[in-house]
């Protein structure tokens, strides 16, 4: 993806908005790369990485009104989350205006062909799609501001109280937003035998909408620090902390790298293993490394991972003790001590 995205960005006018999801990260690491326009991302690490590379960098859950302007061009390498892509297609005409251009990029497995049809439906134009190597590019001009109906029935911006989450709040744009993750549920089942003392400081690393914090909070009195890289997750988790009366804070970070060292008595973590459309083996290492750093010497970390993630081999690089607590339904739960 990077060569085609790079080409689109370097030739873009200054009045261009780059919507940068996780697939855009390699380009920001490219030495000498600079983009003359604005960037918006729902990923904390990407928005931070872009600070000195773009004109203006915004971190939010794709709240385009915060940018306070319209653009001649929007360039977007489509996200893995379908709800995010549909939200952006729906919003784009409002922030392009008449004559503005919406450019989507993606490989075949990204759903780009379907999204190109959705853009045509939203803008009232014909489907435009060009193949460039393994990548596809969809480019459409906004003919008039009175465009067609929104393509998504989801209320993307709204936090939703969901019965399937035991009335916790969540929202589209967050991975697994309307279900309880099986791995997290398995980890939560182990908490009754892994309880820290009342008053302990807990770090929920990669918190999502805060499921693990809620499960532990029901078992004792603790102070929580919940952190995630995703803007939608932070919004949902903050709402749940307030509604459930949880003592603690919710802050953005990249795998916990912004947290202070040796602050936690217990770390809870269900680390992701996908970076966009790709499986990223080093994501687990990053969460392990940061967990070891933020734990007190007397503390412990409880991790749940898919059984194909070799945590038993990775863990000893960062922890002196790695114990398998349980293995069920394709997941493994480990206890790790410094």
Q: Are the C-beta atoms of 331 and 304 separated by less than 8 Å?
A: yes
**Neighbouring residues of 97: CB distance < 8 A, sequence distance ≥ 6:** 70, 142, 145
Which pLDDT band, with edges at 50, 70 and 90, does 92 fall under? very high
Q: Decide if pLDDT at 277 tops 90.
A: no
Helix (H, G, I), strand (E, B) or coil at 288: helix
The confidence score (pLDDT) of residue 328 equals 96
Structure tokens at 231: 């803007």
The H-or-E segment that residue 139 falls in is: strand 135-141
Buried b (16+ CB within 10 A) or exposed e, 198-227: eebbbbbbbbbbbbbbbbbbeeeebebbbb
Helix (H, G, I), strand (E, B) or coil at 314: helix
Mean predicted confidence (pLDDT) in 51-71? 95
* Phi/psi at 254 (5° precision): -100, 95
Q: Are the C-beta atoms of 246 and 239 separated by less than 8 Å?
A: no
Which pLDDT band, with edges at 50, 70 and 90, does 154 fall under? confident
Helix (H, G, I), strand (E, B) or coil at 160: strand
Distance in angstroms (rounded) separating the CA atoms of residues 255 and 269? 10
**Neighbouring residues of 91: CB distance < 8 A, sequence distance ≥ 6:** 62, 64
**Neighbouring residues of 173: CB distance < 8 A, sequence distance ≥ 6:** 42, 61, 62, 81, 83, 84, 87, 156, 230, 231, 232
The H-or-E segment that residue 268 falls in is: strand 264-269
The confidence score (pLDDT) of residue 59 equals 97
Q: Decide if pLDDT at 337 tops 80.
A: yes
Residue range 8-20, pLDDT digits in tens = 998 888 999 999 9
User: Which of 150, 144, 26 lies closest to 85 in space, CA to CA?
Assistant: 150
Which pLDDT band, with edges at 50, 70 and 90, does 146 fall under? low
The residue ranking higher by pLDDT, 23 or 325, is: 325
Q: Decide if pLDDT at 308 tops 80.
A: yes
Which pLDDT band, with edges at 50, 70 and 90, does 275 fall under? very low
DSSP letter, residue 260 = P
The confidence score (pLDDT) of residue 279 equals 43
Distance in angstroms (rounded) separating the CA atoms of residues 40 and 56? 8
**Distance between start and end Cα atoms, the chain:** 39
User: Which of 333, 305, 335, 303 lies closest to 322 in space, CA to CA?
Assistant: 335
Q: Decide if pLDDT at 78 tops 60.
A: yes
Q: Decide if pLDDT at 172 tops 90.
A: yes
Q: What does the DSSP assignment read for 1-24?
A: -HHHHHHHHHTS-TTEEEE--GGG
Distance in angstroms (rounded) separating the CA atoms of residues 286 and 38? 29
The confidence score (pLDDT) of residue 42 equals 97
Q: Decide if pLDDT at 30 tops 60.
A: yes
The confidence score (pLDDT) of residue 58 equals 97
Structure tokens at 323: 């114990």
Residue range 63-73, pLDDT digits in tens = 999 999 999 99
The confidence score (pLDDT) of residue 145 equals 64
**Neighbouring residues of 181: CB distance < 8 A, sequence distance ≥ 6:** 208, 211, 270
Handedness of CA 53, 59, 61, 65 (dihedral sign): negative
Q: Decide if pLDDT at 276 tops 80.
A: no
Compute the mean pLDDT over every residue in the chain, rounded to the nearest whole number: 93
**What angle is formed at CA 281 by the lines to CA 206 and CA 204, rounded to 5 degrees?**
15
Which of 34-48, 130-144, 238-252 is predicted least confidently?
A: 130-144
Residue range 214-240, pLDDT digits in tens = 999 999 999 999 999 999 999 999 999
Ordered structural domains, the chain, with CATH? 2-141 (3.40.50.150), 160-337 (3.40.50.150)
The confidence score (pLDDT) of residue 22 equals 81
Mean predicted confidence (pLDDT) in 262-288? 80
Q: Decide if pLDDT at 143 tops 50.
A: yes
The confidence score (pLDDT) of residue 280 equals 47
CB atoms closer than 10 angstroms to residue 164: 10
Classify burial at 326, counting beta carbons within 10 Å of its beta carbon; exposed 0-12, middle 13-18, buried 19 or more. middle
Mean predicted confidence (pLDDT) in 33-38? 93
Mean predicted confidence (pLDDT) in 68-85? 94
Q: Decide if pLDDT at 27 tops 80.
A: yes
């Amino acid at each position: 993806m990077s060569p085609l995205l790079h080409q689109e960005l370097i030739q873009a006018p200054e009045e261009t908005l780059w919507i940068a999801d996780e697939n855009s990260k390699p380009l920001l690491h490219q030495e000498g790369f600079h983009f003359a326009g604005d960037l918006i991302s729902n990923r904390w690490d990407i928005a931070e990485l872009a600070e000195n590379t773009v004109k203006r960098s915004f971190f939010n859950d794709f709240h385009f009104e915060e940018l306070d302007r319209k653009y001649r061009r929007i360039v977007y390498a489509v996200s893995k989350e379908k709800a995010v892509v549909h939200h952006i297609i729906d919003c784009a005409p409002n922030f392009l205006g008449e004559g503005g251009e919406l450019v989507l990029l993606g490989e075949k497995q990204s759903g780009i062909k379907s999204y190109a049809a959705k853009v045509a439906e939203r803008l009232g134009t014909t489907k435009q799609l060009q193949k460039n190597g393994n990548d596809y590019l969809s480019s459409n001009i906004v003919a008039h501001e009175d465009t067609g109906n929104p393509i998504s029935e989801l209320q993307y911006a709204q936090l939703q109280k969901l019965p399937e989450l035991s009335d916790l709040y969540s929202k589209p744009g967050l991975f697994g937003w309307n279900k309880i993750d099986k791995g997290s549920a398995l980890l939560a089942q182990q908490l009754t035998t892994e309880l820290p003392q009342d008053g302990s400081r807990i770090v929920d690393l990669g918190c999502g909408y805060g499921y693990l914090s809620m499960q532990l909070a029901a078992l004792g009195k603790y102070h929580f620090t919940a952190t995630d890289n995703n803007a939608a997750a932070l919004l949902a988790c903050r709402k749940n902390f307030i509604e459930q009366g949880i003592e603690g804070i919710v802050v953005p970070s990249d795998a916990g790298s912004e947290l202070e060292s040796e602050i936690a008595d217990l770390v809870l973590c269900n680390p992701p293993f996908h970076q966009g459309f790709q499986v990223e083996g080093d994501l687990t290492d990053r969460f392990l490394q940061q967990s070891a750093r933020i734990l007190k010497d007397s503390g412990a970390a409880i991790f749940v991972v898919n059984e194909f993630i070799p945590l038993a081999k990775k863990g000893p690089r960062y922890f002196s003790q790695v114990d398998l607590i349980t293995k069920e339904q394709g997941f493994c739960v480990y206890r790790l001590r410094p």
